[in-house]
Copies of this chain bind each other. A is one copy, B any other.
Amino acid sequence: MGIKNSIPKMTNYGNRGMSLEEDINITNNYYRQQDIAVIYKKPTPITITKVDYPNRKEAVIKEAYFKTPSTTDYNGIYRGQYLDFEAKETKLNRFPLQNIHSHQITHLKQIIKHGGIGFFIIRFLKNNETYLLEGNALFEFIEKNKQKSIPISYFQEKGYLLKMKLNPRIDYLQVIDQIYFKGGSYETITKK
């Protein structure tokens, strides 16, 4: 993700101070602790070129490079369904499509084709708004438009605004319930 919110880290409540990645990690921890879903961020893919082994237990990587990811950052299981998504922040009021690699698009298309739930979570830092956009809605934009970025209005129209809360911080599974599980939210299921 890289781009960080410049608001000081001290404000550790409400909807300020944390990067989208931190917000999602905290939310996923909450989901796991509450036994709602098992969703993780994948480790950053790197190519290791030099390792020091002073002994078996203390390996130190001395040279490594960041690799272009071939999949999305997050995946897991929710209500028996495979779930897969990518999360990005932007300082603009448009989302530049170059922020997503072409094989991430290919990957999410494959996931949806195989019956998984695939989507994007995009935060517009200036507006302090975070949207969930279904994979298919993003693919449709790419197919129908030649623009290299998606205006925030497209997210406002086709996406779902994610509200910031204390716990879970960014409750994206509530929106997933709305879209994919018409039978009610996880709260009605886990709290019975």
Contact = CB atoms under 8 A, between A and B. Distances in A.
B70 A65 contact: no
Interface in A69-93: 70-71, 75-82, 84
Interface of A: 32, 35, 37-38, 40, 42-46, 48, 59-67, 70-71, 75-82, 84, 107, 110-111, 113-116
Nearest to A52: B63
Nearest to A64: B61
A38 B76 CA distance: 13
Nearest to A42: B42
Assembly stoichiometry (copies): 2
B65 A63 contact: no
Contacts of A62: 62-63
B70 A40 contact: yes
Ranked nearest first, the 7 interchain pairs of A and B with the lowest CB-CB distance are A80-B115, A61-B64, A43-B45, A82-B82, A77-B82, A43-B43, A77-B116
A53 B42 CA distance: 23
A181 to B, nearest CB: 13
B65 A115 contact: no
20 contacts: A35-B110, A38-B107, A38-B111, A38-B116, A43-B44, A43-B46, A43-B67, A44-B48, A59-B66, A60-B64, A60-B65, A61-B63, A61-B65, A61-B66, A62-B63, A75-B75, A76-B82, A77-B84, A78-B114, A81-B82
Contacts of A111: 38, 77
